[in-house]
């Protein structure tokens, strides 16, 4: 899979930054530009594991997956500087962790 996107924190076509909206059985970890590198990779892997194990259910429709992507892109675009970008990605990681039993 080759994603075509700008170097950004909210990636095109990835629900929750992980699940390919055009084929939800495909996961893509670490695609985003990073401030928190390994913390983010670890949280994404833990979240993807829980989807695979059936602990997290994905939205039923492609439209719902795409709406999440659009919401994330808009949230990133609303930031004004690098500090906002850092907060954005920190919140993203916390969101993934909150949905899992990440230690």
CB 40 within 8 A of CB 14: no
Q: What share of the chain in percent tops pLDDT 90?
A: 77
CB 66 within 8 A of CB 74: no
Q: What share of the chain in percent tops pLDDT 70?
A: 98
What does the pLDDT read at residue 103?
86
Kindly report the pTM of this predicted structure. Answer: 0.89
* Banded pLDDT at 15 (limits 50, 70, 90): very high
């Amino acid at each position: 899979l080759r994603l075509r996107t700008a170097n950004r924190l909210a990636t095109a076509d990835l629900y929750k930054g992980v699940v390919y909206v055009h084929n939800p059985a495909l996961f893509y970890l670490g695609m985003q530009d990073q401030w928190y590198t390994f913390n983010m990779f670890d949280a994404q892997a833990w979240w993807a594991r829980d989807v695979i194990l059936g602990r997290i259910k994905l939205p039923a429709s492609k439209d719902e997956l795409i709406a999440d992507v659009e919401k994330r892109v808009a949230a990133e675009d609303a930031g004004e500087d690098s500090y906002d970008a850092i907060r954005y990605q920190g919140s993203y990681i916390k969101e993934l962790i909150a949905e899992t039993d990440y230690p």
